[in-house]
Structures are given as structure tokens and as C-alpha cells.
Amino acid sequence: MRTISSFNRDWMFFDPHLDDRDTRTIDGVPVSLPHNAVDIPLNYFDEGAWWRKFRYEKELAYRPEFNGRIVSLLFDGVMANAHVYLNGALVASHSDGYTRFEVSLNGHLREGSNQVSVVLDGSENPDIPPFGGRIDYLCYAGIYRDVWLKVVDQAAIDLVKIEPLDMLGSSRAVRAICRLRGSPERLQDAQLKVRLLDPANDEVAAGTASASTGEATVELGDLPGIELWDLDSPTLYSIECELLHPDFHDLVVERFGFREIEFSPDGFLLNGRRIKLRGLNRHQSYPYVGYAMGRRAQEKDAEILKFELGCNLVRTSHYPQSPWFLDHCDRIGLLVFEEIPGWQHVGNLDWQNRALENVASMIRRDWNHPSIVMWGVRINESADCSEFYRRTNALARSLDPTRPTGGVRNIADSEFLEDVYTMNDFVLGSEDLPGANHPRTALRTREEVTGLPHPVPYLITEFNGHMFPTKRIDSEDRQIEHVRRFLDVMNAAAGRDDVAGSIGWCMFDYNTHKDFGSGDRICHHGVLDMYRVPKFAAHAYASQMPPSAGPVMVPVTHWTRGDRSIGGVLPLWILTNCDRVELHYDGRLAVSAEPNRSMYPWLDHPPVIIDRRMLEDHDLSQWGLPWKKALLIGFTGGKACIDHMMVADPVPSNLTFEADHRVMLADEADHARIVVRVTDQVGNDLPYFHDPLSVRVRGAARLIGPDKLTFQGGVAAFWIASIGHSGGILVTVETSRLAPVAYALSALGKDVPRLQEAVADFVEGYGGQHEQ
């Protein structure tokens, strides 16, 4: 029976790596994975700080279960140009920084202690994607994903591909294709048993096949009671593949979902139901630590997209992302467009061959994810490269004929080799460019972009972004325009059957090279900031969620008389999924308004827009008269469901604290984001509060990043990381104008029975408040 266990703990990290010719000696630093080789400031840094070699070392003690078996290491992601050594001997090299690779240790393992060494180079190697040109994101050096120790018999299951069949017909079935590892002599007389298990782990069907040829296929049919995987009911089944032989045994379990997808010239269908795709692009980066975040931080991003922003699709721009992220997309019902590494540049033939290897690695790793609906097989925004892209498409279709291919471009009349024409359409805002001769336009027509005489499947894969970068602390005028641009494109896409949907650029702000962004090494393109704190534009997405998911009502204003040009708060944009909104000014009903369907006829939930024509002259007062408080009340189905108070004289009144997780996991690399807010008398953020604060973390966690921060628009955020043992965690936040806040969390590990006692002792010692 195989075993796969975490290999993340007890590494030594050496910076810099010294080769045999260097006579210097340096001490290693103990680290756990995932790990970022060089932690960086939030902004204004040298992106070449990690362009050098680093070394990781770990001892592996020989175990009796290694005898006569295949022992290997699985690396989920190493950036980049990795060379793996065992006891001084080179056993494998892997240049790509985004794809998984397996390293066999057999032939170099010895009884006693074995030293595993990984030497990587963070330099931007022009011989491999995405490098060779300029790229609008950073590739942070380090072993930034998990490493696993894998032990299997000499004959074992290598890959499992699951293909659901006839999902919308009366003969639902599933095919399991297993590739086996082992010599023909060893596999002779071996049998493969395949079981289909339902979400409760009960057997639904089973079958067997001979495994003697090195590949076995089992098809299980007559499955009338199967539940389909869908956005609102992401039902997951399991395929259990068991290799049976008197001399060896192996068992692999893969989760998957039964679902049918189709991109047609008339849109996107999931299980035969037409769905308008609405999503955002996501990078996998975080402040200070780059890519090196663990499972629950990855899962939290998926949850933000699905449950806080109301997206039904995410594009993994511009590379395959964490398996943890994709697993969670499967569980929560979030569709994924996954693509190969790259940004605009296409290199020589060797470079292209490496890109083809990335296509194969991406698809083989992820082909059982029901959430993935398309493979991106073109370098993002690259020029046409006919022969290269014929090869990437052919390879993808041969490996996985069940999903379409897409190729993201930003040029019109581009050669169409994929199954879906995927386009970054930045026409909105281009009317302001020199020489432009067109009015404000949300989206170009499909025919104008493709130049094709016949209709084809069509998806908008980026819009906005660099056309109107906006910081969370920007003026109210700019925030309103930022909101409008997202609403305009979503509305245009929703109103056209020939557009499958739109994916905005992007989910959150991200670090980048000096050649891009705002000069501070940040692209402020997100609807969230780097800490995942919402800008007003985030609520443009959230307001499209159905009222059954919860009421949304966010006014795009700081409720001040003089923040906008000319002054006042009109027109007042209110992002909401309510049927009607009342504005009460100084205790008196000023107006009752409904969503503006004349401006946004195709949105599920247009914004409410209150302008001067809807008010009496004395409402919202004029210059020279007192500014008063206001109350918004949202109604759905004739009943009040949400309210929002805005004061006229905001002052710092409360220091609030919110953590993603109150209990951290001590036995894995766990991270919890903490958001601290300074709010006014009624709980609203103070948009121009920028005081400093200090953070102290004690107990079973450590702080990521500096302990001296500043509030940005009344909000500060940071992550804490578990450190490998159970116990209490006390986070203290201090700022000069409000009383300090001490917040207690806990870390839970294998020593659970003592956890509550340990946490209680810890909290009592520091006077914090523990929340269970």
C-alpha cells in the first residue's frame, strides 16, 4: 500500500547557496514549507533581490518500509530552475516554477541518514516560460508549495483520469483510465478494481479489468441516480482504483464530479443550463511572502471569490495555481479557467517545447477537477504564433478531449485555433487615448474582434485593470468611476447572448516589476487591495448575488460634503441587490428609489442612483448649511432587510478586530488573516485615517511582515502563521488615539486534549479574551 506524507518540516535554508569553489561557510536557518526565499517589503523594493541561488537541505532517515519499494519526493512548486540532490548526487532537475514534479530517490538511498538538497535559482531564466520578455507580475523564489514523501510498491498506479459520460442522457456512466508503473513481467496477472463511491463513501458501482498491459480502463454504467456537480450543489464523488496482485498492492482515490459543460456561439452551458459567466482574474501572491502561503489561505481566496464577491468563475492568471485552491473550487462550486505560464513573450523552439511540457503537466495534474472548464494553451496576450499554438491545442485535445481550449489575446483579427475565442477587451477607457475616434464603449462586438464571418464561442477574459488603476484610498470621484467601469462591462456582457461572460482584471492588487504599476511595485488593479480588503468596486460584484445569499447595500460615498469635485454626494450610487432603497436625511425620508434599469437594463441587480432631480431643494442641504446624518434602508419583497447609517461628524470611536480563523492548525503551514479597523460612531471605516499602529503576536504563532504598520483608509491587515505546536495565541494591536485591543486565538495540533487548558493558562497570563 502506498503512503504519501508531508515532507514540509525541519528544512535548513541557506542564503546564498555556495558552490564547491566557494570557501566561505554560512549557517543555515531552520524553516518549514511553504517558504519564500526572500521576504520583501510591501512596496518600493528591488525585484531582483531574489535573482540568485539558494539551497534547502533536509535529513531523511531510512525506514524499513523503503525496502524493495519506490521512494520519491513530490514537489508541488519550486521557483525555479531546481536541482535535487540526494547524498550529494544529482537525482533530478526541473526548470519550471509552476508545475509539479516527482523525484525518485531509488539508487541513492542508503541505510541510516540521507541528505536531501534542493538548489534553486530565482533569476528570471530567459530559456523558460514565463521569462524572456517583460512580465507584469513577480515570480518569487523558494520552495513555495508543499513537498510530499511518496512510497509505493515496484508496481503501482501512476495516473488516473476520470471521464464522466452521457451526463444529460439516460445512460450516465463514468470511465476510469489508469496508467500503471511497473515492468510487464511484474504486472502480469495483476488486476485493477475500480469502485465508484458517493459523497457518503458508499459504493455505487464497481468493476475490474486486467492490468497486465500497463494501462487499464474500467467503465461503470447504469448510474441513473447520480447527482450532477453544479454551482449551487457541487456534489463530489470518488473513484477508488485498487491494483491487486499477490506480490504488491496499491490504492488511489480521486475525487471528481459529474457535470456537462459546453461553450457555444450562444454562450456557456453547465448541465444544459445557460449561465452567464461573471468572474475575476487571480494571481496567487500575498504581501511580504510572495507565493508561500498554505492550504487555508489558498482556500480563503476561493471563498472570497464565491461567497463575498459572487463570482462563478476564476481565471488562474497566468499560470497553474495551488492544488489546494483548485480542490476548494471543486468543493464550493467555483468554475476555473486554468492556463499555462507566460505573459506576451514567446521564445525560441526550445522555449516553446518547455511550454508544451507545461501544457501536459497542467492537464495531467488537474484533469479530474470538475471546476475546471477550459484549458488556456496560449501565452497570455502574445502575438499569433501559428505552428506553436497548433501544437499546444493538439496536445491539450489529445490529453483531455472533454474540455475546450482557449487562448487569451488582446489583439483583434487574431488567428483562431482554439475552441473558445478568449479576448482581453480594454476598449472601455480607450476613448481617452490620443487619436481615438469612438464614444465610450463597454465592449466591442464579437465580429469586430474576431474578424470571422461565422459565430464562434466568445469569452471576455480581462477588462478594466490598467485602464483605470484605483487605490482603496483614492478620492470618491475616482472610486465611482472605477465602480462604473465594472458595472458597464458586466451589463454589456449580460445583455449579449454571443458573449459567454466576462472576467474582470482583477481580484486584488499585486506586486509587479518596475516597468508596470504605480511606480511602487504594485499594480492597483484589483477590486480588493493586496490584503483582500474591498474597494467600492468589490461591491459591484457582490451586489449581483441573489437576495437569498444575503442583502447587499453599499453606498459609494464617504458621506462628506467636500470630498468630490464641486462638492456634495450626488449622484449617490448605491450598490445593492434590494428592490428599493430609502434615503433618510436628518431623520426625514428624502427619497425612495429603485434600481436604475434604464442605465443598466441587463444586470441582475442594477445600482440605485439618486440624483438632484429626485430630491427637494432643501434635501442634503447646500453650502453654508449644516451637514446632517443619513440612513439608508433596503427593501426586498416589500420588507426592510438591511440598513446603513452615515454620520455627519465622524471621529475615531472603535478599534475592531476580525480573523479569518479563530483556531489555527498547528500541524500544517496555516495562516490567518487579521483585519483591524478604526471606525466611526456607527461602525463605518474612516477613509482618511492613516495613523500608525503596532502589532505584537505571542504564543503559538508568528507575525508575517513588519510589526509597525499604518492604517490605510481606516483599515490595517496582516497575516499570522502557525509555528508547529498547540497553544494560545495573543495578538495585541495598539494605536495612539484608541485603547489597545488584545485578541486571543488558539493553535490546535495533535495534542488536542491539553489544548483548552493550555490556551486558558496562556490567556490568563496575558489578560486577553479567548474566543472559541
**Coil, strand or helix at 596:** coil
> Is 457 in contact with 420 (CB distance < 8 Å)?
yes
Virtual torsion, Cα 329, 332, 337, 339, nearest 10 deg? 0
> What is the grid cell recorded at 376?
488556456
Q: 349-366 and 386-399 are packed helices; what angle lies between their axes, rounded to 10 degrees?
A: 20
> Is 176 in contact with 253 (CB distance < 8 Å)?
no
What kind and span of H or E run contains 494?
helix 476-494
Distance CA 442, CA 291 (A): 33
List, by residue number, the catalytic residues. 381, 462
Phi, psi of 656 (to 5 degrees): -110, 160
DSSP letter assigned to residue 89: E
Distance CA 584, CA 592 (A): 9
Cβ-based neighbour number of residue 96 at 10 Å: 26
DSSP assignment of 421-472 equals EEEE---TTGGGSTT--S---S---HHHHH--SS---EEEEE-BGGGS---T
Strand partners for 120: 54
For residues 324-349, one letter each, b for 16 or more C-beta atoms within 10 angstroms of the residue's C-beta and e for the rest, the string is: bbbbbbbbbbbbbbbbbbbbbbbbee
> What is the grid cell recorded at 135?
512580465
Helices assigned H by DSSP within 334-422: 349-366, 386-399
> Is 713 in contact with 685 (CB distance < 8 Å)?
yes
Phi, psi of 594 (to 5 degrees): -110, 165
